[in-house]
Structure formats: structure tokens, C-alpha cells
Amino acid sequence: MIAVQSVSDAFSGADCARLLDLVASAPTRDAKLVRQARDHNLRRADLVWLDEVDGTGWVMDRMIELVRDANRDVFDFDITEFAESPQVARYGAEREGHFGWHSDVGEGRLAERRKLTIVVQLSEPDAYGGGDLELMPGANTVTADRARGAATLFPAFVLHRVTPVTAGERHSLTVWCHGAPFR
């Protein structure tokens, strides 16, 4: 089976609250797919890109540390850079926020070089209903840890989804690591 790693305390509750405070007043964008395509049947969320928010440099420092440890201990991928800004996604019940089954490797200059995906749970688990991050690293579906501050790391080619949010809102932080395309 393909490895999926969970780090239960990747971010503290205070770190999650601090990040959500920083992005609260930032302008959001409707989530799109690769090549700027939009399909609300597949993905319904609002995004904030952290390279557009002052005071968030510490987030990338933490993500780099997580990736260094996980890649050394679990994945051993040839990672050369972080070519995309981290994003905070908001999935709200008012729109049944979700993201259907997909992989993060795709067409396009950056998407074809994604090697590793990291998703950090920013919301308290009881702040929303539904909204599970589910992964399919093999024949069975795995549900990611919903604990606030938990990180889930997985190869970018693994199928995954966020089930529809039925109550409240779910916030998550995502970043990708890049390298030569998989062969």
C-alpha cells in the first residue's frame, strides 16, 4: 500500500487560530481546478493564497520542517522546491463545500511536478459536519485525522476528496512539494 503519514501535532491550536486570524480579512477567491478551470460540481470552496497575506512566513517554515522529516522517514521523493504558495481553503455548509475525487498531479507546468501534498486541519473537529478528507492510497478509503493542527502527508498522485460540509465550516491549509515528474 502507498504510504500516508499523519502528524497529530504539526501545528498547535494557537498556531491554527493565529493563521485563521491572519487570513480572515484577506480577499478570497473561488477555488478553481488546474489551468484555471472552474467546476462547482467537482469543487466548491473559497481560497486565500498565503503569499498574498503579510505575516505568514512562519507557516512555510513549519511546512518545510514537516516535509523534511516525512520525506526522510517515509517517502524518499526527489523534492527540489515549493513552487506554489500555500493556500487556506474554506469549505462552508451554506454552499455544501466539497472537493470530489481527484489527484494533485495534473496537466500544467506546476501540477505535473507535484510530488507530495500536505494538508493541515485548521478547524476544530466539532466546528463542522461532513467535510472529511478521505484518501484512497490503495483498495480502501482512509479518513484523515480531524484533530485541529493535524497534518496529513501523501503522494500527490493519491486519489483524495473532501466530502460535502453539512454544518459549519472547515478550514484547511494545503501546500505541495515539487520535483521532476513521476515516471
Cβ neighbours of 17 (radius 10 Å): 15
> How many residues comprise the chain?
183
Cα separation of 159 and 156, whole Å?
Answer: 8
pLDDT tens figures, 41-68: 678 899 999 999 999 999 999 999 999 9
pLDDT at 31 over 90: no
Domains present along the chain, CATH in parentheses? 5-178 (2.60.120.620)
pTM attached to this predicted model? 0.92
pLDDT at 149 over 60: yes
Question: What was the pLDDT predicted at 174?
Answer: 96
Question: What was the pLDDT predicted at 33?
Answer: 52
pLDDT at 35 over 50: no
Which SS3 state, helix, strand or coil, does residue 136 take?
A: strand
Cα separation of 35 and 31, whole Å?
Answer: 12
Look at 110 and 144; give whichever has higher pLDDT: 144
pLDDT tens figures, 88-116: 999 999 999 999 999 999 888 888 999 99
pLDDT tens figures, 111-134: 899 999 999 999 999 999 999 999
Residue whose grid cell is 478547524: 123
Q: What does pLDDT average to over the chain?
A: 91
